[in-house]
Amino acid sequence: MVSARTYAMNDAGEGSDVLLTTDHPKSMKTIAWTRQYKKARVFCYQSSHDNQAYANPNFRKVVARGIQWLAGRT
């Protein structure tokens, strides 16, 4: 079963590298992106936040890779 939760926030914006998108009609299109802000790295992953999402190995992989990127390890 896929979570029915959707989110709406500002688009990733100019200068962002889009990582994940969705075509869900009630959701914002871009759900994961990165960018540089001055000397800082920014990673945004607007996904579900329940036990079903946390149990998904792909969810954990995206979060782990995001953390690695933020730490400058990729």
Where in the sequence is the domain holding 48, given as residue range(s)?
A: 17-70
Indicate whether 31 belongs to any domain.
yes
Q: Are 44 and 32 in contact (CB under 8 A)?
A: yes
- 9-68 pLDDT tens trace: 777 888 999 999 988 888 888 989 999 999 999 999 988 778 888 899 999 999 999 999
Residue closest to 70 by CA, chosen among 48, 46, 44 = 44
pLDDT at 1: 47
Q: How far apart are CA 28 and CA 56, in angstroms?
A: 21
Helix (H, G, I), strand (E, B) or coil at 65: helix
| In a domain? residue 23 | yes
> What is the pTM for the complete model shown?
0.78
Q: Is residue 36 part of a domain?
A: yes
Question: Which pLDDT value is given to residue 20?
Answer: 92
Q: Considering its fold, how many domains does the chain have in total?
A: 1
User: Which residues, 6 or more positions from 20, have their beta carbon under 8 angstroms from its beta carbon?
Assistant: 30, 31, 32, 45, 62
Residue 11: per-residue pLDDT? 78
